[in-house]
Structure 1
Amino acid sequence: MQQDPSQISSQKLLGLLRSLVAEVRPELDLEKITLESSFEKELGLDSLSRVELISRIERAFGLALPESTFVEAENGLDLLRVLTTLRPHLADLVSAAEARPRSETATLPERARTLVEMLEWHAGHHGERVHIQLYQDDGRGGTITYEQLKTGAQNFAGALQQLGLEKAQPVVIMLPTGADYFFTFFGILMAGGIPVPIYPPARPSQIEEHMRRHARILENCRAEILVTLEEGKRAAQLLKGLSPSLRQIVTAAELRLFTGRSTTVEIRPDDIAFLQYTSGSTGNPKGVMLTHANLLANIRAMGKAVDASPEDVFVSWLPLYHDMGLIGAWLGSLYYAALFVVMSPLSFLARPERWLRAITRHKGTLTASPNFGYEYCLHRLEDLALDGIDLGSLRAAFNGAEAVNPTTIERFAEHFARYGFDRRAMTPVYGLAESSVGVTFPLLGRGAVIERVERDTFMQRHEAVPAEAEEPHVLHFVSSGLPLTDHQIRVVDAAGHELPERREGRLEFRGPSATSGYYRDAEKTRRLFDGEWLDSGDLAYIAEGELYITGRIKDIIIRAGRNIYPDELEKAIGDIEGIRKGCVAIFGSGDPQTATERLIVLAETRSEEPQERRRLQQQVNALATDLIGTPPDEVLLAPPGSVLKTSSGKIRRSASRQMYEEGKIGQRGRALIWQIGGLLVSSLAVQRHRITELLKASVFALYSWSCFVLLVPFAWLGAVLMPNFRLRFKAIRTVAQLFARATRTPLKVVGSEHLRGIAGPCVIVVNHASYLDSFVLAAALPEPFRFVAKAEFSRRLITRLPLEKLQGEFVERFDTGKSVDDAARLLDALKGGSPLLFFAESTFTRIPGLQPFYMGAFKTAADAALPVVPVAVRGTRSILRDGSWFPHRGSITVTIGEMIDPAKIAQESGKESAWDIAVALRDRARGFILRHCGEPDLS
């Protein structure tokens, strides 16, 4: 029954609040509780308690609260404001509209090389087919077809390009699950940018920690644009203050208003498709670089393992800023033309039955969740909420992204069997961001395989010896299956030697899905690789070819020669009545007196009664002794919120250890005003640094232009008035070298001997990155040379006169045929004896990268049978980019290669055609320049 918002009773709401508090915090004085009492600080209500409170309020008032209420409401008054502004809403969550029918069968983009090509394939072949179903309880969630996704993304791409987005620039996405997220992600790709998904801030009490973590991400990727929603703009402004690179904050609604067309950008398989920042459970976030080729290889391999097809329906509540939700759920569904039914994580947390009801309504065949999601359904849902649930359509329920608990998967299979769940659908998998997402999958339809292993043998000798059926206190490990097609795994010891089966060691992997490293972090990238293999950071063993994960390397505690695995003990302690389930952290803390690790148990409890706390400590000690043979050195019982977690719900043991060692366990979080104040103070320091750097850069730019204005007239006069070519060139070189010294621009020249050793004329080919290139070459090259310049310079006296005196040659650009025709005229120019220098790209742009080479220089060299000398210029583009007159500090390197003899090419290859030889000259010269210019290949 729905209730008129005007009849919402504050006393009834207070009664519901006090009733819940009486259950979870019986020691509190209920009469002192008001609607102004803080849920977290005064009442100690954790996230699950708040979910239960909202659920009771919805049942009592017959209204459905927005998902945002779950994280935004800080006290009863916040809930009252939401309730009194709600319009009557369908509160019967059991009734459901029929799923929308799908259109014709689909074919797959088997030849697609990039994510954009994948989308364009589907839009071109079955554009009206529904791709995304946005789930709502009343069945009225919107849908997105492939054509709509493509059109919306193109619109967003044009808007981002209008904002100045250039190829290969990161763009941060801070959006919740919804249509705008999908349009923004592909819009960034189509504009040539690199999406960087981050999670929107949760409740205000945690905003400082979130903003500082996000600031570290922006500091690493140096994104200039952030896309968010209107409600997120205030938080984004705080982030902008902490991030010097961030210059624009734009909402998805503002991008949607753009009406122009986007410019097509060439996207290659080896381009970075997006940056997946790790959750940061063990340190600062690292940006995993994933290319289009990496992602498509992983999607195809996972699809093969589960026999994915367009007939599948993937139901997901997973966040789109994590690899499992983004790649495994969404992009995998996109490739295989499966219907993607999606809801926000908050929708699931507020009412987990939505996940199961979406599977029922849309006859979901595939779904996925961390172990937490399955456990959450077990202890959160009552049979009444599951009325009408039918999970019989599921053929694979993936369990990954965190440690898989054998007890959870057994209990889930048993409990939900009455709702049609087939235990063979439970599919534990293993993956990590460094391998896109997936590494190993079990055989389809087999169900979970759980091994029982002798505890003492494993902890002391690291051997996974199967235990007898009746043996007590064994370890349980879950198989994650076999490596995906074309992927490999191995287990190695501390020295890097591969171990035999059933021996525990460090897990390494390799394959086409593997990252090339971390974005702008060479040191962490170096530590990631062991030759061709990548270090997973996990401990594991292999049995009959299948992978069994045993723990994280950094989390293992070594005590008295035994390995202690926190995960198992944490779960066991979490089952003690009075300890908050999933809120236990076990870690080692160094003891400076004994030089050993102390075993610390940090467990959350709501109890403040001394006798009850002593009981809990005794139970923890007894349980630890029973499981690992030794009691912990310290059992620390702390209030809710003390155990730190990542955005994906993983225990942050390292961060919790740091809090413990700093004596901060149990301290209440600072009030929102103090958090914002701290962020503002930090942002002022960042802004001061930014302003200081801007002032220094402006002074340098002004000084550089002053030097240029003073010196260039001498160069111009020297080129025009000196009596012969060598003296004219010497005048230019002298001024160019003085300019480099005056601006303190380091100029390094490598390989000068390669040019000095050539007797007679030759063709010099150079990459072109900046207006500075001509001055740099004049200062760097040891011998005088003549320029081949674009014809536009001949139309102005101020440029034509010095170039003519320097025996420059003018050619038309942007016309390959014309460039080849000019070769005959340039042949005569070479008879003068001095080298002739070509900018082989003809022009330059702001975008870093080596463009295709024009044929004029190489046809000239082949026809004249003259050697080609490749020269790579590095650093000028970053000093002065195209379209900007603001020079920056930097260093320049000029690398001169060995001459490439066309006669030698003809002899080695047997080619006689001058054109074939010219092509070979081009390819060899371009290869050398590409290796030394420090920029990517744009051809």
Structure 2
Amino acid sequence: MTVPNPAQEGADRLLELLRAFARESRLPEPPEGIGLDTRLESDLGLDSLSRSELIARVERGLGVRLSDQALTAATPADLLRMAEIGATQGDTRTAAAPIAADAGDLQAPAEARTLLETLDWYRRRAGERTHILYYDGDDGPHPIRYADLALGASRVAGRLTRAGIARGARVAVMLPTGPDYFFSFFGILAAGGVPVPIYPPARPQQIEDHLRRHARILDNAGTSFMITVPEARTIAKVMQVQVGALREVLTLEGIGTETPLDDWAVPDADDIAFLQYTSGSTGDPKGVTLSHADLLANIRAMGEAVAIRPDDVFVSWLPLYHDMGLIGAWLGSLYFGVPLVSMSPLAFLARPGRWLQAIHRHRGTLSAAPNFAYELCLTRISDAQLEGLDLSCWRRAFNGAEPVSAETLRRFTERFAACGLRENALAPVYGLAEAAVGLAFPPVERGPRVDCIDRVRFAGSGYALPVGCEDPDVMEVVACGRPLPGYRVRVVDGEGRELPERHEGLLQFQGPSATRGYYRNPQATARLIRDGWHETGDRAYLAGGDIHLSGRVKDLIIRGGRNIYPYEVEQALGELPGIRNGCVVAFAAADPRQGSERLVIVAETKEHDPGRRAALQQRARELATDVLGLPPDEIVLAPPRAVLKTSSGKLRRVDTRERYLAGKLFEGPPRPVWQLVRVGLSGLRQRLARLARDLPGRLYAYYAWALFYLLAPGFWIAGILAPTLKLRWSLARSGLRLLAGMTGMQLHVSGREHLEGLEHPFVLVANHQSYLDAAVLVLALDRPVSFVAKRELTANPIVGRYLARMGTLFVDRFDPQRGSSESAQLSAALERGAGLVLFPEGTFREQPGLLPFRMGAFAVAAQARVPLIPVAIHGTRARMPGDSFRPSPGKVDLFIGAPLIPQGGDWQTAVDLRESARAFIARQAGLKGG
């Protein structure tokens, strides 16, 4: 008698389901057949949508409920383990009460200047209110109050501070959607850092591409820390090999016992809030620099355009590494105090109905998604799932981040009208990271608007001639809204001349959240901003006040004197049976034999039968010719995963073209372990090359520090023993001149005449760029002065004792308006006739720009009625940046300004002194605030 083996029966049933699905979907079958170790992606070509359908069949066939992580399963064996867990646990879903939107009198914090001030405002006034209701993989709701978010952020900030984070340090956040992400983002800000959101690899097969692309981003950002999940440690360590600045990889294990950081950083409104790297970043990473002021300006403008209400509820599954999910959904909800119902993108992809069910359950009024998500709801949600679904509460369904399909808008409205969805709820919108997120929204309560134009006329002349929507040559263009309040747009030709309505050209914008540029990428920044206008990179025309997008500038194909836009033909071919929807790209490829460009279309298919492939290729050619009005030069039927996409699902046309030109479209990805090895070896080669390039600089640094340690003891002893301050000052200058001469540092001083005849007392203020600033000022001044320094320096007896002998005054903080004892100490020094030297920024950071000036120096000068001398230092940041303690030879310029004479002793006089000094320093040093 044979004893049944439940485990073997489950495996056999799973493989039977998978083989049936493969036959029905015409998937390629490996030579050895489909087994438990078959790779779902590289062997069978399953993408996210195919996995979603397979998971639904496995759940029905095995009577289990799989977790959302089944979407990332590498093999059937992984699915089998998840199925066994699902059979043991059963359905763990819990009913969730609707999240209550507070319709009270609590208004948005209009006075808040930064994101941290916004969070603190709600923590103090509404700490017990639910801010986020997060759904985990088991559909279990987890409420996060404002107080919880602040506490979690404080704990993350504490861990970062103890790890040695410096002000302005960039910290990568490679986490999935969840409480840890929310805590980490604000924890980095609270610790004085700058978040750099990046996405974790969705599947092992993507590791190599993921690491190569993100290593360039992290290197460009100068990222020093990364926060990730424990499972990603291996990936993060490989990144560490490739990114020289990456000091430490942190996880949030045990964060609940971490001591919170109570003393949060206090950034200025113009300080960088975070770096948003465009999802398609490859060889030329573009990190959009967004300040706190930028973000709040954009959020406030979007709130006005949406007519935000106290009873609104935002429902979102959008990833938090993307601007629409991070800013539009989360930070916008935070600022206006409306509840956010959040779930992970995996939860949506696994079961799209969850999105609409969450809107129904929590009476969601606002939600947003790219066009593909609305399509997914149309194809994956059954009629049975619509029973009892009430979407009458959904007043604004934003559609953006990728081209909006008029057909999708129509079908979605018609399908879900029976569920109470209003016809005017759908709202096509337009935005870009360079504007923070939003740029154009349709008027409140207006539904979608579609412009029907003559396709032939538009392709030939760029004029959008209106025609009837039944015209055979009609081209439908969705209106994407009007500029947000305070923003302007225009369409120009290639020479920058503004074009009239309905003439297509380059779309440009202006607005309060327009980025200052791309981080550490001056070349890309120069291309972005032209004559005060920001380029969007999109082609468009204006009609009736609305923006109508026609395509990306870089994707435009010019053939036979006609402008060809890939999107329309890609969408049309994606509807063909046998071609994978959303996996078609059209691009121009150089033809060296004819000296022209060829129009190439790459379409993914799972079809392997030669006869059916030939028929499919012919149908694709005929349809493409109908849409374009001319035949394509080549149609390539490629296997699944050949068409590359960004993390947000956008087509990577340029990268796919490079794969086509290199003849690699039909190559599958190697096993994950070999990807890691290959990337690791590549990173090791890069690190060795970097070490070779850095060797001269390192040798110079060793030489400079060796000289310093050789000279310093003698001059320190002499300074301690010298009987007078004048002699000690003279010895210090002699030692510094000797060190500067032997290390090749050149100091050029302008404006010495402003010090001639000037007697003590006076106050001198200078910008702070480096640890070299004090030494440069000592070299430039021919008289003893008293530096004002932080009291922490006295903890080192060698440093503290020497500075005290040099007349240094130690204070706890530099702002005497906040500390009467420090104010009295400085005033007493001035009464004794001392000359005081202060750095009103208080500290320095690696990136260029002036930090806010504290009022201490200016208030003391005004109260004592003594001259204030502004000094601009330029070059010390390049000689020894940040906390690197790695000097380099070169020139330093120092500009001494004319004394500013206080006209009174009040606060306004102090403010006037500060503004005049700041203006001089910014002008002479080539700096600006932020």
> 1:311 Cα deviation (Å)?
0.9
Once residues 174 and 378 of structure 2 are traced to their aligned partners in structure 1, the CA distance between those partners, rounded to angstroms, is 31
Structure 1 contact 64–91 (Cα < 8 Å) conserved: yes
In structure 2, distance between residues paired with 1:688 and 1:208 = 20
Deviation per residue, 1:13-40 (Å, 9 max, x gap) = 1110111011012775899322222223
1:118–1:7 Cα change, 3 Å: farther
Per-residue displacement from partner, 1:47-98 (whole Å, max 9, x unpaired)?
3222211111111222221111211x222112112222345345498x9544
Unmatched 5+ stretches in structure 1:
831-835, 906-910
Distance 2:88 2:27 in 1: 34
CA drift of 1:653 comes to 0.5
Residue in 1 aligned with 2:894? 895
CA 1:281–1:577: 2 relative to 1, 3 Å: farther
Greater mean alpha carbon deviation, residues 791-800 or residues 342-351: 791-800
- CA offset digits 1:389-416 (Å, max 9, x no partner): 2222211110000000111111111122
Q: What are the residue-to-residue correspondences of 1:515-526 with 2, within 5 Å?
A: 515-526=515-526
**What residue is the counterpart of 1:231 in the other structure?**
231
Structure 2 CA distance for partners of 1:693 and 1:5, relative to 1, 3 Å: farther
- Of 784, 790, 806, the residue aligned with 1:786 is 784
* Corresponding position: 1:214 with 2:206: no
Partner of 2:598: 598
Flag the 1:135–1:796 CA change in 2: closer, same or farther, 3 A: closer
- Three-state SS of the structure 1 residue aligned to 2:18 is helix
Q: Which amino acid aligns with 2:229?
A: L
Instruction: Assess if the C-alpha contact under 8 Å between 2:26 and 2:608 holds in 1.
Output: no
Rounded to whole Å, the distance in 1 between the matches of 2:422 and 2:655 is 39
Moved more, 759-768 or 201-210: 759-768
Matched to 1:125, the amino acid is: R
Distance in structure 1 (CA, Å) of the matches to 2:907 and 2:329: 51
Aligned twin of 1:251: 251
Deviation string 1:93-151 (CA, Å, 9 cap, x unpaired) is: 8x954425566735122222221222222222222221211236876311111221122
Map residues 425-574 of structure 1 onto 2, 5 A cutoff: 425-574=425-574
Q: How high is the sequence identity, in percent, across the aligned residues? A: 43
Letter paired with 1:60: G
Post-superposition Cα deviations, 1:207-227, rounded to whole Å, max 9, x if no partner, equal 100011111111011121111
Letter matched to residue 928 of structure 1: F
Amino acid at match of 2:676: I
- 2:66 is matched with 65
Amino acid at match of 1:259: T
Residues 296-331 of structure 1 deviation map (CA, whole Å, 9 limit, x = unaligned): 111111112122222112111111110111111111
1:773 is displaced (CA, Å) by 3.8
3-state SS of paired residue (1:367): strand
Partners of 1:314 and 1:796 lie apart in 2 by 53
The 3 A distance-change label for structure 1 pair 857 and 78 is: closer
One-letter amino acid of the counterpart of residue 571, structure 1: Q
2:298–2:437 Cα contact (<8 Å) kept: yes
Q: Is the 8 A contact 1:130 1:145 kept in 2?
A: yes
* Alpha-carbon separation, structure 1, partners of 2:33 and 2:884: 66
The 8 Å contact of residues 491 and 504 in structure 1, kept in 2 or not, is answered as yes
**Which residue pairs with 2:48 in the alignment?**
47
Aligned 8 A contact 1:244 1:686 in 2:
no
- AA matched with 1:19: A
CA distance in 1, matches of 2:334, 2:811: 46
Q: How does 1:362-377 map to 2 (within 5 A)?
A: 362-377=362-377
Give the equivalent residue in structure 2 for 1:99.
98
8 Å Cα contact 1:130/1:146 also seen in 2: yes
Displacement of 1:717 in angstroms is 8.2
- TM-score with structure 2 setting the length: 0.90
Tell whether 2:927 aligns with 1:929. Answer: no
Structure-2 residue corresponding to 1:38: 39
- For 2:497 and 2:812, the matched residues in 1 are separated by 58
Equivalent in the alignment of 1:335: 335
User: Does residue 88 of the first structure (1) align with residue 88 of the second (2)?
Assistant: yes
Which residue in 2 is equivalent to 1:387? 387
Report the residue type matching 2:270 in the other structure: D
User: How far apart are 1:436 and its partner, in Å?
Assistant: 0.9
Deviation at 1:742, TM superposition (A): 1.9
User: Structure 1 length normalisation: TM-score?
Assistant: 0.89
Mapping for residues 592-741 of structure 1, pairs under 5 Å: 592-688=592-688, 700-712=700-712, 715=715, 732-741=732-741
- Once the two structures are superposed, what CA deviation does each residue of 1:229-278 show, in whole Å capped at 9, x if it has no partner? 12222221221221111111111224333124332211222121111110
Cα 1:289–1:881, aligned 2, differ >3 Å: closer, same or farther?
A: closer
Shift of 1:552: 0.5
Contact 1:566 1:586 in 2 (8 A): yes
Q: Secondary structure at the match of 1:583?
A: strand
Give the SS at the match of 2:518: coil
Cα–Cα, structure 1 residues 897 and 631, in superposed 2: closer, same or farther, change >3 Å? same
Are the equivalent residues in 2 in contact too, given 1:785–1:837 (CA < 8 A)? Answer: no
In structure 2, the residue matched to 1:751 is 750
Report the Cα distance in structure 2 between the residues aligned to 1:389 and 1:446, rounded to whole angstroms.
24
In structure 2, what is the Cα distance between the partners aligned to 1:795 and 1:289? 38
Q: Distance in 2 between matches of 1:864 and 1:530?
A: 46
- Rounded Cα–Cα distance in structure 2 between residues aligned with 1:673 and 1:794: 52
The answer for the alignment partner of 2:204 in structure 1 is 204
In 2: Cα distance, 1:88 partner to 1:11 partner: 19
Query: Structure 1 stretch 99-108 or stretch 556-565: which is displaced more?
Result: 99-108
Q: 1:42 to 1:805 in 2, by over 3 A?
A: closer
Kept in 2, the 8 Å contact 1:823–1:856? The answer is: no
Q: 1:18 to 1:509 in 2, by over 3 A?
A: same
Does the 8 A contact of 1:879 with 1:889 survive in 2?
yes
The 10-residue stretch of structure 1 (132-141 or 617-626) with the greater mean CA deviation from structure 2: 132-141
**Offset of residue 284 of structure 1:** 3.6
Using a 3 Å threshold, how does the CA distance of structure 1 residues 788 and 62 change in structure 2: closer, same or farther? same
Question: Is the 8 Å Cα contact of residues 765 and 871 (structure 1) preserved in structure 2?
Answer: yes
- What code does the residue aligned with 2:26 have? R
- In 2, distance between residues paired with 1:497 and 1:181? 45
> For residues 843 and 507 of structure 1, do their structure 2 counterparts lie closer, same or farther at Cα, with a shift above 3 Å needed?
closer
Deviations 1:539-577 (A, max 9, x none): 111111111111101101011110001000100111112
CA contact (8 A) 1:859 1:915 kept: no
Cα RMSD, aligned residues only:
3.6
How many Å apart are 1:487 and its aligned residue?
0.9
Structure 1 stretch 499-508 or stretch 121-130: which is displaced more?
121-130
Matched AA of 1:10: A
Counterpart amino acid of residue 510 in structure 2: R
Give the conservation status (yes or no) of the 8 Å contact 2:68–2:137. Answer: no
Note the C-alpha offset of 1:168: 1.9
Please state if 1:407 is matched with 2:399: no
Corresponding residue SS for 1:217:
helix
Q: Which amino acid aligns with 1:46?
A: D
Which residue does the alignment assign to 1:23?
24
Q: Secondary structure in 2 aligned to 1:452?
A: strand
C-alpha distance in structure 1 between counterparts of 2:30 and 2:809, whole Å? 90
User: 2: distance between equivalents of 1:181 and 1:723?
Assistant: 59
Q: Please identify, of 534-543 and 240-249, the stretch whose mean Cα deviation from structure 2 is larger.
A: 240-249
Deviates more, 1:601-610 or 1:120-129: 120-129
Closer, same or farther in 2 for the Cα pair 1:123/1:802, shift >3 Å?
Answer: closer
**Aligned-pair distance for 1:936?**
7.3
What is residue 908 of structure 1 aligned with on the other side? none
Specify whether residues 698 and 913 from structure 1 end up closer, same or farther in structure 2 by C-alpha distance, changes over 3 A only.
Answer: closer
The 8 Å contact of residues 427 and 448 in structure 2, kept in 1 or not, is answered as: yes
Q: Distance in 2 between matches of 1:797 and 1:372?
A: 65
One-letter amino acid of the counterpart of residue 564, structure 2: I
